[in-house]
């Protein structure tokens, strides 16, 4: 689970096993997105209380950001 609050992804870096479904929980006063830098997944703009999930089926490191606030970044490492 990654929480999106105060314009930050927490934790910013997360390591999961192949096949893990990661949930992002939106808990902020403004909308954000979860958008992979390589566009392998992307949410629409989501509001407080919503969630987005993505299943990571291949090993590797995926950087992501918020398309509305590009300074918000995070990384998922899949092993």
DSSP 8-state symbol, 75: E
Minimal distance, residue 39 CB to Cu ion, in Å: 17
Q: Does 2 bind Cu ion (CB under 5 A)?
A: no
* 68 binds Cu ion, rule: CB under 5 A: yes
Query: Coil, strand, or helix at residue 74?
Result: strand
Which residue is it, tokens 């192949």? 18
Q: Report in angstroms how near the CB of residue 73 gets to Cu ion at its nearest.
A: 10
| Phi then psi dihedrals of residue 39, to 5 deg | 60, 20
9, 24, 26, 32: which one binds Cu ion (CB under 5 A): 32
Sign of CA dihedral 59, 65, 66, 68: negative
Candidate list 69, 73, 75, 77; residue touching Cu ion; CB under 5 A: 69
Q: What are phi and psi of 47, to 5 degrees?
A: -105, 170
Cβ at position 20, least distance to Cu ion in Å: 23
Instruction: Give the residues lining the site for Cu ion (CB under 5 A).
Output: 32, 66, 68-69, 72
């Amino acid at each position: 689970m990654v929480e999106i609050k105060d314009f930050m992804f927490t934790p910013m870096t997360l390591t999961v096993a192949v096949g893990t479904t990661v949930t992002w929980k939106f808990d902020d006063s403004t909308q954000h997105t979860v958008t992979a830098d390589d566009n392998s997944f992307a949410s629409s703009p989501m509001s407080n209380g919503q969630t987005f999930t993505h299943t990571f089926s291949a090993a590797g490191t995926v950087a992501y950001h918020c398309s509305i606030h590009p300074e918000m970044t995070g990384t998922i490492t899949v092993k």
